[in-house]
Amino acid sequence: MSYRKGSKVWVEEKGEGWLEAEVVDAKERAVVVLTSQRKKISVLPEKLLPRDTDEDLGGGHVDDMTKLTYLNEPGVLYNLKRRYALNEIYTYTGSILIAVNPFTRLPHLYNEYMMEQYKGVRLGDLSPHVFAVADASYRAMVNDSRSQSILVSGESGAGKTETTKLIMRYLTYVGGRAVLDDRSVEQQVLESNPLLEAFGNAKTIRNDNSSRFGKFVEIQFDKTGRISGAAIRTYLLERSRVVQINDPERNFHCFYQLCASGKDAELYKLGHASTFHYLNQSKTYELEGTNNEDEYWKTKRAMDIVGISRSDQDAIFRTLAAILHLGNIEFSPGKESDSSKIKDSTSNFHLQMTATLLMCDPDLLVSSLCSRSIHTNEGIIIKALDCAAAVANRDTLAKTVYARLFDWLVENINKSIGQDVDSKAQIGVLDIYGFESFKHNSFEQFCINFANEKLQQHFNEHVFKMEQEEYKSEKINWSYIEFIDNQDMLDLIEKKPIGIIALLDEACMFPKSTHVTFATKMFRNLSSHPRLEKTKFSETDFSISHYAGKVTYQTDSFLEKNRDYIVAEHCNLLSSSRCPLLSGLFTSLPEESVRSSYKFSSVASRFKQQLQALMETLSSTEPHYVRCVKPNSVNRPQLFENQSVLHQLRCGGVLEAVRISLAGYPTRRTYAEFVDRFGVLVPELMLGSYDERALTESVLQKMKLDNFQLGRTKVFLRAGQIAILDVRRAEVLDNAARRIQGRFRTFIARKEFVKTKEASISVQAYCRGCFARKMYKIMRETAAAIILQKHVRRLIVQRNYQEACSAALLIQSCIRGFIARRYFSTIREQKAALVIQSFWRKRKVAMLFQHYKRATIAIQCAWRQKLARKELRKLRMTANEAGALREAKNKLEKKLDDLTLRLTLERRIRAAGEETKLVEISKRDKIIETLSAECAAAKSSARSEHDKNLLLQRQLDDSLGEIAMLRSNKILKAEEEKQNSNLKNIVKSLSEKNSLLENELSTARKSSDDTMEKLKDVEGKCTHLQQNLVKLQEKLTNLENENHVLRNKAFNISPKTVSEVLPFYNPLKFSETPTPTKHLAPIPHSTGTRRQKLPVERHEGNHEILSRCIKENLGFKDGKPVAACIIYKCLLHWRAFESERTAIFDHVIEAINDVLKAKEADGRLPYWLSNTSALLCLLQKNLRSNGFFGTPSRRSAGSLGLGGRTGQVRNPACQLFSLSLVGRGDTLAQVDARYPAILFKQQLTACVEKIFGQLRDNLKKEISPLLSVCIQAPKSTRAQPGKASKSPGAGAQQPSNSHWDNIVNFLNLLMDTLRENYVPSFFIRKLITQLFSFINIQLFNSLLLRRECCTFSNGEYVKAGLSLLEKWITDVTEEFAGTSWHELNYIRQAVGFLVIHQKRKKTLEEISQDLCPSLSIRQIYRICSMYWDDKYNTQGISNEVVSAMREMVNKDTANLVSNSFLLDDDLSIPFSTEDLSMAIPATDYADVELPECLHLHPSVQFLLKVS
């Protein structure tokens, strides 16, 4: 393939595998490329692979790698890498699922809601998920009645076990059955995982929880698709790990769990794991994030669930402890040569413990370890073993015991779960080890890789078969495509008589054979095989070229690990054990086997047989593949190692599948996609309408391509042809770009010329203007100078004239002033003389008057002095009396202080009493006796307060008496002041003091009056509290009596009635006040009732008329339900509400339930919602409780006090009798209700909720198919990228009328039905609101789960559809729609975000606060990671914003319990009984007449008489 400058390519690199690069120079034999690391390198064209030029558009990744433009190794690798960075861990490759281990918890991907989303959905419709594969297998099994299999593979640590758990969890979810006991089949299947993990998993170098065995779980189903049984098969348990481990690996988990089990470990004489030889070969005893003790109890719980008895559990753990003690037994040379014995006392202790735990003879145990018996015709020969042989014998015993114990566990699990022999279909989940290649590879890796070769052959056949099926469905010719498999590899390993396994078994049969003889014979017989090589530096090692690469095996331990001897001494020892479990594991050997102490059995041959059986099982099923990938070797999240992933893709066969696809037609595109991408090559054919298939063929013929195939819906291209088309497309686009650039440069040049021309014209005009303005200025200045000269001359003449006039006027005014001043001086002298004369006369008279006045005052003072001396003596006496008055005032102040202090204390006591009462009232249903004691304490406190208030009243009366005395003294003092008015100046200070004292007395009087008022208020409140407490005690007594009666009655209710009432009881509604548990004496029946109780027999004849009213549609009259009114009038006339024993209410409820269970019940739900709600409202408004609740008329809305709180209590037995009618003016007479009426109300409420919930659920089921086609725009309405640019200013596209109009028509039909049945607007509003909430949830969740929905054109499509819903909500008004438009907030904001332009300029704050305030960061991140612009091919959110959101999501993942980005459906009932009584108006049933069809019935003749 030839490359041109600017081509995007992949270049191979050792560290990263592949790098992104761009061609900067293309020569004949070499191509110079610029890598993403900004390095220029020269490579051969053959070593480059093409890269999609449009990969950055659409998010830069695809969810199915068959959609990649170039299906090659780097394209697969980087697509996985980009998706992994967005936490998209699942990716399809056709029907194969690739799962990348995230190494972090993602609970939002695996909750029950997510399982419900994938239930019944076709594979590929939603985002890739392991649930989709599990559902596809389940649906294929149910629809085709054929068994399925799911093959989960991957290397250690890739997440195979967790993926298998998820698959089994989903299968038990869709195929589970109701749990009839504590140990259901589904639970046992799921709980078998932790049990098998404890005994079969261990820590390896790559994984802390690596499965050291293969597992195939068969889940069996019956004809209805429900789980009927299960079975588990295991393969090749790594037995050698029991006795030998390498650092830092661990032994099987169960050993460490048992050592950390606490008391159980002490029981078996176990210590820390480091004290045992089988565990301390590695220094790793703990796993990060795992507690061995907790895991031990989880394992025991799993044993309980799968049905292992306690005795068997004890035997299992005793056996594990015996294995640990057995490993600590050491040997030393014996007295004889080549013999051995127990080394020391420590080893002897472990020997005794081993024998005790195995329940066998210690001497027999020593004999079986240190000697070997050989049976001959002459007798038994006992041969002693040396120390090395004894140790090997000990390890053989440990491995044999553990292997048989593991097999027993698997067999016991299968027995406990139970297999369904009659099962016709099953789903098998295979969790098997992946391809392994280490530095040192032994017999285990050989078997594991052999199994993977077998599975890879099956996988290749499946992939090729899928390719053939697609070619057949598209009706293209595929006969010449060759299929290359790995059969030669399998022949090398398993073919007889010269396969590797056959040669190994032959070598194991000869006791003196070694790995050297085995290797020599293998090389001699198989040296010509192309896949087998001999290593250069070893005579015994060999290399095999597997499908995943070359692996070198060391044959040092091949023979030992392949030999599975059955030691007769071990079998005899353990078959004689007193432990039933152990003796059952080792049955006595037949006589022919006893003759040989060691019987050989080939592990490889047995494994080959198991593998062949597995392949036969898989061949009889339809396979589904899940390939697990480990992204890095350090088990860290968000770290992607390219080389490691590439190796796993090769080992997992993914790249092999790519190779198979490349052998055929790797590139396949629908005609629409092909035309969208390559239509630019034939622009002359794109005008007008065209046939996409013919246009595709024209494009390919014009490009002169061969070997392409045109299918029914797709075009199939051979490898490399898409690159040729892309090169030609790039040339066309480059030419178009050059043409656009030329036109644009022309436009810019012309624009500059026009701009320069306009500038020159402007400069010329400006110059001419300046010259004209200069000439005009000169002419203007000349004219101005002439005008100035004229005005100056005029001003000079005018000034001279004005000076002459002013001089003449000045002279005249001076002469006139002189004459006037002389005349004024004469007149002033005359007036001054007259004034002097008048003042002199006045002075003489004043002096004479002053003389007479002084004499008079002297006489008066002498007389007043005489009188003052007398008065002074009297005032001194009065002053002494004022001192006594001051002392009285001080005493009064002290008394007022004491009263104030006491009042403060009383307030605190009253506040403490009120708090105590409130606390005790809130806990009244829990501790009745404590409440009574507190009530008594409150009463005594109130009495003491009353006594103290009386004492304070008396003290205030005394104070008032003293104040009255002071007032009288004040009056006497005022009289004295009137008599001695002449002495006011002398006693002024004394009067001021008296006035101050008077002010203080008035203040004290006011404070005493306030104190009296407050004390009166306190007394009134105490009295009110006493009354409320009495009422509260009465209320509690009534509630207790009612609960006692209801409990007694409940024992007499039939099971059917109870089952109809209890399912609708929701304990959350009554969590405010729990029912008291104290048993009270039964309520005595009143003997003085005015109305005689009706017998039960009287109502039995009326059942027929009620049944007819319920079964027949009586319709409505003036909007009132006839059936509800007739039933209420009948019950009221028959006095059923006042009867203490009657079955008529149960009959009514049963009849309504029977109608709702009928086939045509769905169509009558609105009718019965209207009738039952009307009947319930009639009961609430017209019934009055008698004997169970206080009378409502005794309360007032404004004086409830503390007792008013009891009106909010909602008890399960009395919730329908809440006092919601207080203060409402109901004109209908109320009827006393007895216990049956109470129960009838409760049942009727449950019936209303049931009808509402059933109607809501039916509507959701009906609208779900309509919503599923509305979330994604039809292909015919999508704007093609090539055509969208012609009208960029066009508005949002109009939705396809068919889909959204169907929803609007559905809503219109619903409104018509509800209105025809006169359903109250309250119910319509709640129903429509919940329906729109469901629409919001379904659309929003579908948007987040399907990548093809997160597009620009699809956002326009959904937004236009939402506008239709908005118009519908506006048309039906808020009375019926309520807050429905606000329920669509999530989908409205999400769609609004999809259709905005220039998303790259939006910051995280603008997105989260302005555009999508209701959405969480996780939801916004999900939309951003899936969005792609299919209309304008613009880029989405900037990488910086996406990175910031990713960090926030990863940070919150560890803090959230459930971090799902999906919305949950609300299934609660959105109203209560009080809401109904307040929202639904009263129904006047008096004017509802009896229908003509019921006139002849004798039980309702009274209704005709009344009418």
As annotated, the active-site residues are: 156-157, 161, 207, 210-211, 434, 436
Q: What are the angstrom distances between the C-alpha of 953 and each of 892, 1005, 1431?
A: 15, 14, 90
Q: Pick from 951, 1079, 967, 1120: which is nearest to 1019 by CA?
A: 951
Q: How far apart are CA 1190 and CA 1034, in angstroms?
A: 8
| CB-based contacts of 1133, cutoff 8 Å, min separation 6 | 1502, 1503
Amino acid letter, residue 325: H
| CB-based contacts of 1089, cutoff 8 Å, min separation 6 | none
Sheet holding 227-235, edge to edge: 90-93, 96-100, 622-629, 148-153, 425-431, 214-221, 227-235
Q: How far apart are CA 345 and CA 334, in angstroms?
A: 15
Q: How far apart are CA 1011 and CA 6, in angstroms?
A: 98
Q: Are 928 and 1040 in contact (CB under 8 A)?
A: yes
| CB-based contacts of 16, cutoff 8 Å, min separation 6 | 642, 643
Q: What are the angstrom distances between the C-alpha of 1096 and each of 62, 1100, 1110?
A: 74, 7, 21
- Strands 622-629 and 96-100, sheet pairing: parallel
Amino acid letter, residue 760: S
What's the CA angle centered on 591, arms 587 and 593, to 5 degrees?
75
- Strands 1231-1233 and 1183-1185, sheet pairing: parallel
Per DSSP, the residues of 1196-1235 read -TT--GGGGGGGG---TTTGGG-STTTT----SPPEEE-H
Describe the crossing of helices 292-306 and 387-417 by its angle, rounded to 10 degrees. Answer: 50
* DSSP H or E run through 373: strand 371-376
Six-digit token string for 780 = 């203007």
Six-digit token string for 756 = 């320069």
What's the CA angle centered on 858, arms 856 and 860, to 5 degrees?
70
Six-digit token string for 890 = 């001080």
By CB atoms closer than 10 A (0-12, 13-18, 19+), residue 295 is buried
Q: Are 235 and 607 in contact (CB under 8 A)?
A: yes
Q: Pick from 153, 188, 161: which is nearest to 172 by CA?
A: 188
| CB-based contacts of 311, cutoff 8 Å, min separation 6 | none
Q: Pick from 1195, 1194, 1219, 1224: which is nearest to 1207 by CA?
A: 1219
Q: Pick from 1075, 1125, 1158, 1428: which is nearest to 82 by CA?
A: 1428
- For 141-144, the CB contacts below 8 A with 24+ separation are 141/221, 141/225, 141/425, 141/426, 141/427, 142/221, 142/225, 142/425, 144/622
Residue where the block lists tokens 């593991």: 406
ω into residue 497 within 30 of 0, thus cis? yes
Six-digit token string for 911 = 């506040």
What is the distance in angstroms between the CA of the first residue and the CA of the last residue of the chain?
99
Amino acid letter, residue 711: G
Six-digit token string for 858 = 């002297």
